Amino acid sequence: MRLEIGYVPLMDAAALIVAVELGFAAGEGLQIDLVREPSWATLRDRLALGHLDGAHMLGPLAIASALGLSGVPTALTVPIALNLNGNAITVSLPLWEEMAPKDDDIGSIAKAFAAAAERRAAAGRPLTLGTVHPFSSHTYQLRRFAERGGLDIDRRTRLIVIPPPQIAETLRRDLIDGFCVGSPWNSLAVEAGYGRIVALGSEVIRDCPEKVLALPTGDDAACLPLVRALRRAGQWCADAGNAAELAALLARRSYLDVDAILIRRALQGRIIVGPDGAGRSDERFVVFDAAAQRPRREHVDWFLEEMRRAGQLDLTPAMMAAADRIYRPDLFDVAST
């Protein structure tokens, strides 16, 4: 079977890339053509229009697409998740200097961020912050980080959408003051000397649900070989002994096209946060293991609640029931036996 699967160049597309490159897909009788997409909106639309057979997708965007909240309403099935965590919040160096937090505790940093945002808003120059899509864990992590510091992000800042591969460059050009994105784009801004990571996504929301495999709803049995291939590939990615090989693979020009060192640090949870070499560590910075792969319905409920808190929907019992049908842990379990 030949499939075209779309992805956005991020470290958390690892299982798809590994499934193709290391033969896990071929072992299931699948020939997968990976299609690099420039943005989540483009990927969403191409999947909805039938130009793709499946996609590496933001969990909340899959739900929003299926519920008709974003783009063309599309019946989707999520039979496997691809990872937990992997994001970070980065600000420009001038904003970091203005923040001047009293210590490196995330609570202190959030309060310093909020204070700087309030000063900018009072001066008629509100902070402009980048996120990758309105329906994304990145948006919800930014909101939670702001709330931790006591900041009303809707009233006191300007939130805009920028595709992940472009977001670091947008900060370099001083078009935004900060952003939340998945790896490796935060580290790229730090390495190039114009960004400072102020919080790891895993510090803001522990074990935050992230990307999934989204497929057009159809023949349940037909997706099982793909789920098996991705399950094995994800577990290979989770093996710390494979970090160097995985980083080199993802770093290829045809995939992420960044320095493998940046990817390897992220895989190991050792993040350089500033040009001064300061670091933050979290062994669960990005998680690919079997527990991360199961598409849990509690993650659907969490996404729906974050959408409600962000004013993106009026949550009803019927909507909750429809959303719960999108994530299919039963298919994952069948493929795992």
pLDDT for residue 11: 98
Stretch (H or E) spanning 203: helix 201-204
Confidence of residue 317 (pLDDT cuts 50, 70, 90): very high
Structurally, the chain folds into a number of domains equal to 2
Domain co-membership, 144 together with 221: no
* DSSP code at position 87: E
Does residue 283 contact residue 273 with C-beta atoms inside 8 Å? no
Average pLDDT for the chain: 97
| Tens-place pLDDT, residues 84-111 | 999 999 999 999 999 999 999 999 999 9
| Tens-place pLDDT, residues 262-273 | 999 999 999 999
Domain co-membership, 133 together with 100: yes
Choose one of 158, 175, 207: the last residue of a domain.
Answer: 207
* DSSP code at position 327: B
pLDDT at residue 141 tops 90: yes
pLDDT at residue 65 tops 90: yes
Give the global pTM: 0.97
Domain co-membership, 171 together with 247: no
CA–CA distance, 101 with 25 (Å, rounded to integer)? 48
Choose one of 187, 207, 227: the last residue of a domain.
Answer: 207
Domain co-membership, 115 together with 190: yes
Rounded mean pLDDT, 103-122: 97
Helices 59-66/137-148 angle, 10° precision: 120
Domain co-membership, 96 together with 198: yes
Q: Domain with 8 in it: what CATH number? A: 3.40.190.10
- Kindly state whether residue 23 falls inside one of the protein's structural domains: yes
Residue bearing tokens 């002994």? 241
pLDDT for residue 30: 98
Look up the domain containing 132 and give its range. 87-207
Rounded mean pLDDT, 198-220: 97
And the tokens for 311?
A: 């004013």
Domain co-membership, 66 together with 112: no
Does residue 149 contact residue 118 with C-beta atoms inside 8 Å? no
pLDDT for residue 158: 98
pLDDT for residue 337: 86
